[in-house]
Structure 1
Amino acid sequence: MTKSDLIERLTNCMQIRYDRAVSKTDVTAFLDALGDVAVAELQAGGEAPLPGLGRLTVKETATRTGRNPKTGEPMEIQGRRAPKFAAAKGLKDALK
């Protein structure tokens, strides 16, 4: 599914399920704002809930020792912060 497909389906769902006529421009602005808010919250060390889907958090990995595949020499792999998605129970149950 592409972003334009998602926007189209959300627009149709809002019309059918909620009897609300929203424009594709409004849906696009909402999705962009949701992304901006989620990024800002994760950068601040918080979590971003996605109701009905799950939540986004930040996972921090520690610095560790690895091996250079060419030489076999030990090397240090820097720790990092990465986004992590935890699915909600309802989403997990829907996929069973």
Structure 2
Amino acid sequence: MNKAQLIDAIAAEAGLTKADSKKALDALTKTISDVLKQGDKVSLVGFGSFGVTERGARTGRNPQTGKEITIAAKKIVKFKAGSELEDAVN
């Protein structure tokens, strides 16, 4: 499912227009992004939680040349599914 299909599904499920559904989805993604940038966690009970973790610097290899390279440390976003979402999928 792509973003347009998700907007259509939200509009049908919630009885909203497609424009309102797009605004709601954009607001949700922007809010989650802003909270994660601040280093906080977002928990949606039953659905799951988003958090940011640090991945340390490490040494890797360039697959084309085999030469060792240093991979810089960075922050990554993790999602952990909630129990209701896991039950719905299974």
State TM-score, norm by structure 2: 0.83
Please identify, of 25-34 and 59-68, the stretch whose mean Cα deviation from structure 2 is larger: 59-68
Partner of 1:11: 11
Give the drift of 1:39.
Answer: 0.8
1:52 and 1:84 map into 2 onto residues whose CA distance is 16
- Structure 1 residue runs of 4+, over 6 Å off? none
2:54 and 2:14 map into 1 onto residues whose CA distance is 37
Structure showing greater radius of gyration is 1
Supply the AA of the counterpart residue of 2:8: E
Correspondences of 1:49-60 after superposition (within 5 Å):
49-60=43-54
Deviations 1:34-93 (A, max 9, x none): 111111111100112234321111121001122333454433211111111110111112
Correspondences of 1:56-75 after superposition (within 5 Å):
56-75=50-69
Partner of 2:41: 47
Supply the AA of the counterpart residue of 1:9: A
- Give the share of equivalent positions with the same residue, in percent: 36
Backbone CA RMSD of aligned residues: 1.8
1:51/1:31 CA distance change after superposition, 3 Å: farther
Q: Which runs of 5+ in 2 are unaligned?
A: none
